[in-house]
Amino acid sequence: MALNANKNTKLYYSIREVARKFDINESTLRYWETEFPQLKPKTSVQNKIRQYTEKDIEQIRLIYNLVKVRGFKLAAARKMLNENRQGVDKSSEVLETLISVRDQLQDLKIHLDGLV
């Protein structure tokens, strides 16, 4: 049986790991949980540790895109997610692709400037 190298074997991520991934404070994530009903990570009963799944991280990515990248207020971001989820998903994907292309072009420019 072949191993799927692309499959992520980790099921849950800590709040610290998720905060680092998006370069935001852990308190920001906790606050977003109160503002966005869609964002509900699993919490263990005994020690109150939040456990984020890939689905939660995707939700955070959409919120991050709306609030931090595009500059929406929290109420506007919440409204966008509630009314036009597919549009938000699509625009988030497009924006990530554009940022990736921009970064690649900047790297290429630096490389070409080094050749001259």
The CATH number assigned to the domain holding 56 equals 1.10.1660.10
Strands 50-51 and 42-43, bridge-based pairing: antiparallel
Secondary structure in 3-state letters for 57-88: HHHHHHHHHHHHHCCCCHHHHHHHHHHCHHHH
CA-nearest of 70, 81, 68 to 19 is: 68
Asked whether the predicted pLDDT for residue 85 surpasses 70, the reply is: no
Q: What pLDDT does 83 receive?
A: 81
Confidence band, pLDDT 50/70/90 cuts, at residue 1: very low
Q: pTM (2 decimals)?
A: 0.70
Confidence of residue 113 (pLDDT cuts 50, 70, 90): confident
The whole domain housing 82 covers: 11-112
Number of separate domains in the chain? 1
Token digits for 41? 């990570």
Q: What is the mean pLDDT of the chain?
A: 84
Q: Average pLDDT for residues 17-21, to the nearest whole number?
A: 93
In a domain, 102, yes or no: yes
Kindly state whether residue 5 falls inside one of the protein's structural domains: no
* 54 inside domain: yes
Q: Tell me which residue has tokens 């939660």.
A: 56
